[in-house]
Structure 1
Amino acid sequence: MNKAIGVIDSGVGGLTVAHELMRQLPKERLIYLGDTQRCPYGPRSKDEVKKFTWEMVEFLLEKDIKMLIVACNTATAFTLHELKEHLSIPVIGVIKPGARAAINGTKSSHIGVIGTEGTIRSDAYAKALKDINADLDVQSLACPSFVPMVEQGRLSGEQTEEVVGDSLLPLKQKRNLDTLILGCTHYPLIKDTIQLVMGDDVAIISSSEETAREASTILEFHGILYKGEETPLHQFYSTGQLEVFAKIAEGIFKEFINHFHSVTIEKATLR
């Protein structure tokens, strides 16, 4: 089936998931929509996040996608169950894959989670982790300054290191913490700085790889994995300005991408 996989995010962060999908599923076609105009989602109310997410979903449904990947942790926390309930196509979020990867990686059973205010407020990661292992010690921390910094293209340098260092100080002081989940798909874009601040003894977990593996398994299970020879032509949409979006995308994909489009998404009915 040569229908596309739809990927949505509040901005550029989900491009890290898209990149991993392209690496693990090179025959699959992707349609990506980043709501950069209204990013970040983290400080917004649950109802706002649900409304914005449904607007993105309805835009992609018009493209006749065969699977939806919610590459935004805040949107996953607030809307995943509802999306699965209402949509007839497979829907994947990024929280459970990230939780599984962290549990596989930790040796001390002390796991940190960083994310937007909305994701941390939802307690979605702690719940996902403890559903698997109730004995885990989970420390969660909101880092509201990270997403605006990434969306502005400030991915490295002294100022970025200072912001990350100040934000992560509460977790850095936690003894025995050996694993840190990047609970926002924007955060892998500053992963090197986060690793520098936390130190080499802390494993940094991004959900991108695990999410792509889950997508592959589900596509195969439903018999909708594309096995033809047609070269995929990916499409990337943004609700905001394309300049920074395109620059960050090219940094992630290490190549020039020319299928960028700026769009306005219509108002959706809140479910």
Structure 2
Amino acid sequence: MSNERPIGFIDSGVGGLTVVKEAMRQLPNEEILYLGDTARCPYGPRPAEQVIEFTWQMTRFLLKKNIKMLVIACNTATAVALDEIKKNVDIPVIGVIQPGSRAALKASDTGRVGIIGTIGTVKSGSYKHELQEKAPDTHVSSLACPKFVPIVESNQFNSSVAKKIVSQTLAPLKKEKLDTLILGCTHYPLLRPIIQNVIGQQVTLIDSGAETVNDVSTLLDYFNLNNYEQTDTKARNFYTTGSPKMFKDIASEWLNITNLNVEHIELGGK
């Protein structure tokens, strides 16, 4: 039996494309619908209630497209909205925090783990809670990096400006003697080479989004939702509340796909 319905991915902007990239690699048979709320990005500084409301708006939009699973490919939204959405929809829903925490504990030898994320994610304490619940002795250092998402959203993640901002922002973490650092925002893997260079080659970087796809794969098996239909062209449809051109420029480069189908939609509210 094959289930050809798509998997839905939602994010505050283009960051969740890092999760989609991994999904396309691990799950080539699956159809993908992606919605990035670029017009209202970043979510990090917004009040939790507003992030929950925006996440519901995105979720409802994709539910109307008959998705079989929802991936909240945004750490801020996962931190505040995952539990509520999970309880109120009848398809499997996955966030990015649990898989990232699990991978960090597996990778760390010294138990000194750093987390970088948005203001909202860091303030929620979700990563720290997950890490210390599984391994109470873990030394956790958290740092909000509010300037990182705008760099990625404006397609400047390879620029000299990006290098300068990353270097200045991460300076406090260099004193913490970390051996593992969680990229606690799905936008951050686009800055990965710069982050690695600044924090040091001895620190293992954990991409929460990529780790999440392992869980997606497991749940597809568990719920018997795999698409076994093998065709040359799987549907990859992308929606954005912002500029389709800007979105397409970043997505085409990151996913290495030409002729991306990107559509502008309105979700309402600011």
Question: What residue number does 1:234 align with?
Answer: 236
RMSD value over aligned CA atoms? 1.0
Structure 1 residue identity aligned to 2:50: E
CA separation of 1:166/1:264 partners in 2, compared to 1, >3 Å: closer, same or farther?
same
Consecutive unaligned residues of structure 2, counting only runs of 5 or more, are none
Q: Is the contact between residue 249 and residue 257 of structure 1 (CA under 8 Å) also seen in structure 2?
A: no
Q: Is the contact between residue 18 and residue 210 of structure 2 (CA under 8 Å) also seen in structure 1?
A: no
Q: Is the contact between residue 11 and residue 72 of structure 2 (CA under 8 Å) also seen in structure 1?
A: yes
| SS at structure 1 position matched to 2:227 | coil
Q: Is the contact between residue 252 and residue 260 of structure 2 (CA under 8 Å) also seen in structure 1?
A: no
Separation in structure 2 between the aligned mates of residue 215 and residue 255 of structure 1, nearest angstrom: 22
Any idea what the Cα deviations from partners look like across 1:133-170, whole Å, max 9, x if unmatched? 01100000000000011100111232211100110011
Question: What residue number does 2:44 align with?
Answer: 42
From 96, 99, 115, the counterpart of 1:97: 99
Any idea what the Cα deviations from partners look like across 1:216-240, whole Å, max 9, x if unmatched? 1101100111112244111000000
Question: What residue number does 1:10 align with?
Answer: 12
The 5 Å alignment of 1:4-153 reads 4-153=6-155
The 5 Å alignment of 1:172-183 reads 172-175=174-177, 177-183=178-184
Q: CA deviation at 1:255?
A: 2.2
Question: What residue number does 2:190 align with?
Answer: 189
Separation in structure 2 between the aligned mates of residue 32 and residue 2 of structure 1, nearest angstrom: 16
Separation in structure 2 between the aligned mates of residue 184 and residue 244 of structure 1, nearest angstrom: 20
Separation in structure 1 between the aligned mates of residue 158 and residue 238 of structure 2, nearest angstrom: 24
Q: Is the contact between residue 84 and residue 91 of structure 1 (CA under 8 Å) also seen in structure 2?
A: yes
Separation in structure 1 between the aligned mates of residue 249 and residue 137 of structure 2, nearest angstrom: 43
| SS at structure 1 position matched to 2:234 | coil
| SS at structure 2 position matched to 1:182 | strand
| SS at structure 2 position matched to 1:201 | coil
Q: CA deviation at 1:258?
A: 2.4
Deviation beyond 3 Å, 4+ runs, structure 1: none
Question: What residue number does 1:203 align with?
Answer: 204
Q: CA deviation at 1:266?
A: 4.6
Work out the number of aligned pairs and report it: 266
Separation in structure 2 between the aligned mates of residue 244 and residue 178 of structure 1, nearest angstrom: 36
TM, length-normalised to structure 2: 0.96
